[in-house]
Amino acid sequence: MHGRLSVSYWKPLGAFGLLVLAGLIAWGPDRIWPVLMLRAFAIPMGFAFAAGAGLLLWRKQWLLMAGAVIVSVAAWYISDLPGRIPTHFGNGSTVLKLVQMNVLQTNTDQTGAIHAALAQDPDVICFQEVDQEWVDRLLQDLSAQYPYHCLAPRNDLYGMALFSRLPFNEDTVRMLGPMPAILVRIQSGGLPVRLIAARLRAPETAADVRQRNVQWRQLALWSLEDSCATAVFGDLNTVPWDDAFQAYTSTTGMTSITSMPCPTWPAFSGHAIVPLDHFLLSHTLVPGRFSSFTIPGSDHLGIHVGIGIVIR
Q: 39 or 312: which carries more pLDDT confidence?
A: 39
Domain with CATH 3.60.10.10 in the chain: 93-310
d(CA 25, CA 17) in angstroms, rounded, equals: 12
How do residues 203-258 score in pLDDT, each as one tens digit?
999 999 999 999 999 999 999 998 899 999 999 999 999 999 999 999 999 999 87
d(CA 58, CA 56) in angstroms, rounded, equals: 5
The pLDDT assigned to 4 comes to: 53
pTM of the model: 0.91
The residues that bridge with 79 in the sheet, in sequence order, are none
The pLDDT assigned to 287 comes to: 84
Amino acid identity, residue 63? Answer: L
How do residues 277-304 score in pLDDT, each as one tens digit?
999 999 889 888 889 999 999 999 999 9
* Beta strands in 67-213, from DSSP E residues, in sequence order: 93-102, 124-128, 148-152, 160-164, 168-176, 179-188, 191-198
Residue 143, classed as helix, strand or coil, is coil
The residues that bridge with 195 in the sheet, in sequence order, are 184, 231
The pLDDT assigned to 309 comes to: 75
Phi, psi of 273 (to 5 degrees): -125, -15
Residue 42, classed as helix, strand or coil, is helix
Mean pLDDT of the chain: 91
Give the pLDDT band of residue 9 (cuts 50, 70, 90).
confident
> CATH assignment of 93-310, given 3.40.50.2300, 3.30.1130.10, 3.30.70.2740, 3.60.10.10?
3.60.10.10
Give the pLDDT band of residue 93 (cuts 50, 70, 90).
low
C-alpha pair distances (Å), 227 with each of 169, 193, 284, 285 = 16, 10, 9, 12
Give the pLDDT band of residue 85 (cuts 50, 70, 90).
low
